Amino acid sequence: MGVGYRLQRSAGRTSLSSYRFCVRARDKLFSLLVSGAFADFGRRSVLQLPIRLSGEGRIAVGSNVFVGAGSWLQVLDDPVEDVALTIGDGTSIAGNCVLSARQSVRLGKKVLLARNVYIADHMHAFDDRARAVLEQGITRAGPVEIRDGAWLGQNVVVGPGVRIGLGAVIGANSVVLADVPDHEVAVGAPARVLGRAGEAVRVAP
């Protein structure tokens, strides 16, 4: 291969390395600067820009947490000042995820969220046909817990009052409206348990 090609390859690698370093440095600096606004913010945790934050004074972030770009961490307005959204140590949130809490959303340690996961402990009210849904407030609030080591696939939705157990696996595009036991695999809309993680799982046609 010619000298021009080798120079182009070298310049490309150097440019990408510089870009990645700058992005990491930017996100780490941002995380350090805003950490004091949170109820708790552990060491070596990173919020990747751009990110949307609401009610950060009631959000507790553990150590070694990663929250990917495009995510929204939200606590709704409430006179109570207790922590409403907790993200445990070592949890990784891939990006474009929404975690929205009114009462309590708790992610345990080393939870893995793929992209576009939506978790909320409340739903929009929609009973009044004479009013727009956005004017009706929220309803059916109930605490949500995602326990240690669970994995939620891409586009998963978790509704209010749900508990997802230790090491449970939720398949992509699933809508979880009921509890999932420890180490079980659940898929579908609404999600249903198919078997235990680590075992062969058969999906009905």
Structure token digits, residue 68: 């990917």
Residue 120 has φ and ψ, to the nearest 5°, of -145, 145
Q: Which residues pair with 144 in a beta bridge?
A: 105
CA dist list (Å): 112 to 51, 98, 143, 178: 18, 14, 19, 19
Q: Which of 140, 173, 172 is nearest to 159 (CA)?
A: 140
CA–CA separation, 15 vs 64, rounded Å? 27
Distance CA 119, CA 160 (A): 8
Active site residue 183: no
> Per the residue annotation, which of 6, 13, 124, 131 is the catalytic one?
124
Which residue has 């975690």 as its token pair? 99
CA distance 105 to 80: 15
By annotation, the residues acting in catalysis are 124
